[in-house]
Amino acid sequence: MNPATNQTEPAPSPALFIETITAYQKSAAIKAAVELDVFAPIADGSATAETIASRCHAAPRGIRILCDYLTVLGIITKSGDKYALTRDSAVFLNRTSPAYAGGILEFLLSPDIKGAFDNLTESIRRGGTAQQEGTVAPNHPVWLSFARAMGALMRPAAAALAELIKLDQQRPTKVLDISASHGAWGIAFAKKSSNVQLFALDWAAVLEITRQQARAAGIENQFHPLAGSAFDVPFGTDFDVVLLPNFLHHFNATDCVRLLKKIHAALRSGGSVAIVEFVPNPDRITPPAAASFSLTMLASTPEGDAYTLAEYADMLAKSGFNSPTQHSLPASMNTAVIATKK
């Protein structure tokens, strides 16, 4: 009995502990559903276990159990014996959707990312990844799968960022996309005007994917690749915007400042840097997705972290930038932190 409320407190429960331990079952189920492509027949109206199984060339019993489990997770819905997509699954898990995100399994469940957590105890002891250099190793192959998978998921947020930073469309402008990868962030700026020249920096093999995306977007004649490490490759000068999407979290604060100073030197007066990141609140435990990202960095990088807005503001001030503004981005767990050159 709680004297303050005069109510009986619930008995201790191991439910959260057990749910956390068995969370691998959730990722296994969604992986199987994507591999079998169960969402397409549901989207088309083939909604019973039998009709879905026929389309997916699987056993009806297996499909029924899988779809019931996906319903428990809230990924699909069930009415009677028929299944339907939720609004989220219709957008992100139906292969015909422009924002289809099923391909991210290749990256998120890769041995380089998922496997890093197999040695998490050692990473905690060290204070950084147990995988030598982790994902920041030069030319790490995991960034090829990231580039192949993430573009469609990032396009809505990239388009919103391109609207936040206004460019003078009457004159030639230069945009530098660091860790360009799938190209969505830089391409969103290049599509705004033929006067935008897009300089995309990444590892050489990754830039082949970026170039393909630029070609598909119709802006290849505005595209200029810069191959190599952002810390080593000369940027050039007079950039109007430098994009840093999901990059700084891989490094310690000192290295972040070192890169931001290099960016500051590359920008024209009044130019902007746009940092796109998982930004936790000062308590570092909210919001959940941003706060939890620190653990991914602990497992997969030597010194990366999810930095707060105050920490980014300090890095930017040390690098010669004005105080940043913070902006949420649609269909994304990312936050844009934008600052201008003094």
**Which residues, given as ranges, of the chain have pLDDT below 50?**
1
Cα 195 → chain centroid: 28
175 phi, psi to nearest 5 deg: -125, 130
Share of the chain above pLDDT 90, in %: 94
Q: Tokens 């891989």 appear where? A: 250
180 φ/ψ sector (left φ>0, alpha ψ -120 to 50, else beta): alpha
Give the pLDDT confidence score for residue 7 in this predicted structure.
73
pLDDT at 2: 57
In contact, 327 and 336? CB cutoff 8 Å: yes
Strands 335-340 and 325-328: antiparallel
CATH fourth-level superfamily of 114-340: Vaccinia Virus protein VP39 (3.40.50.150)
Q: Is 60 helix (H, G, I), strand (E, B) or coil?
A: helix
DSSP 23-54: THHHHHHHHHHHHHTTHHHHHTT--BHHHHHH
Ranges assigned E (strand) in the chain = 76-79, 82-85, 173-178, 196-202, 223-227, 239-245, 267-277, 325-328, 335-340
Q: Which helix (H) or strand (E) holds 17?
A: helix 15-21
Structure token digits, residue 136? 């920041």
Domain boundaries, the chain: 15-97, 114-340
SS3 at position 137: coil
pLDDT of residue 314: 98
| Selection from 309, 335, 334, 333 nearest residue 323 by Cα | 309
Same fold, 15-97 and 114-340: no
Tokens (6 digits) for 323: 């105080």
At residue 6, the pLDDT reads 65
If DSSP codes are grouped into helix, strand and coil, which group holds residue 87?
Answer: helix
Give the pLDDT of residue 331.
86
Instruction: Give the CATH fold of the 15-97 domain.
Output: Arc Repressor Mutant, subunit A (1.10.10)
Predicted model pTM: 0.92
